[in-house]
Structures are given as structure tokens and as C-alpha cells.
Amino acid sequence: MTKNSSPPDDSWESDAVWDLIDRSPAQPVSPRFADDTLRAVRLSAEETPWWKSIFSRPAAVGLLGATAALALTASVLWKTPDAEIPTPVVNDSPNAESLATIQDIAEAEVLLAAEHLDDFSDHELASLAGF
């Protein structure tokens, strides 16, 4: 029996690509092949998926802070239905003395402005005159 018998036609060894590889010259490997390969593997490290970055420490702290701020805002703005709404106090009958006091103050301001007309702008004089 001979050792170098040809493989059957349906074998992968009889493929045309393998024939080309067998006929091609051998390429020498550089002395730094292993170092270059390991460096290339480190540089092409697989990135973490986006969903894993949600659970990282800075993202978790930010998510916790945003949740706390939202809870605080909701608790401040949330009104209970049984809370009493304060009614504003309106004084419809002004006191005659208070009106007289306000009138005196307004007249004093107008007299002061009349003495120093150059110190006031046209807009300020018009507001003092009541236009």
C-alpha cells in the first residue's frame, strides 16, 4: 500500500483553495509577532453594552439623585384633598385716617419734586403728576 494516495474528489483536501495554499511560499513570522498580536487584542477590547453602563457607579449615583429630586418635588407640590385653603382677608372699608396719611405723603413727594425738577426725568415727573 502506498502512503501518498490521492484523496477522494469530495474531500476538503482536494479543494482548489488548499491547492493554492500548498503552492504558496511560506511567510516568515516576525520576532515580535506574539507581542503585536496581544497588543492588538488589548486595543480591540470589546466595549461594554449600553445597558451595562446604566448600572455603573456614576450612572447609579446620578439616577439616585434624580429620583430623590423628583420625590422631593412631588412631595412639596402634592396637595392633600383635605387640606384647608386659607381665605384672603380683604378690607373693603378703608380708614379715613389712613387715606389722609397717604394723601399727605403723596403731596409731600410732589412738592419735593417741584423744588428739584432738574433731578427727575420726564417719566418720573409724569408718574408723580398722576398721568
Residue pLDDT, tens place only, 15-41: 888 888 888 998 888 899 999 999 988
Q: Where are the domains of the chain?
A: 97-129
- Give the pLDDT score at 7: 57
Out of 44-48, 72-76, 78-82, least confident range = 78-82
Region for 78 from its dihedrals, namely left if φ exceeds 0, alpha if ψ lies in -120 to 50, beta otherwise: beta
The end-to-end CA distance of the chain, in Å, is 127
More confident call, 75 vs 94: 75
Average pLDDT value over all residues in the chain: 78
**All 3 cell numbers of residue 59?**
450612572
44-47 contact pairs (CB < 8 A, 24+): none
Residue 111 to residue 128: CA distance in whole angstroms: 10
Tell whether the model's pLDDT for residue 102 goes beyond 60.
yes
Once rounded to an integer, what is the mean pLDDT over residues 101-113? 81
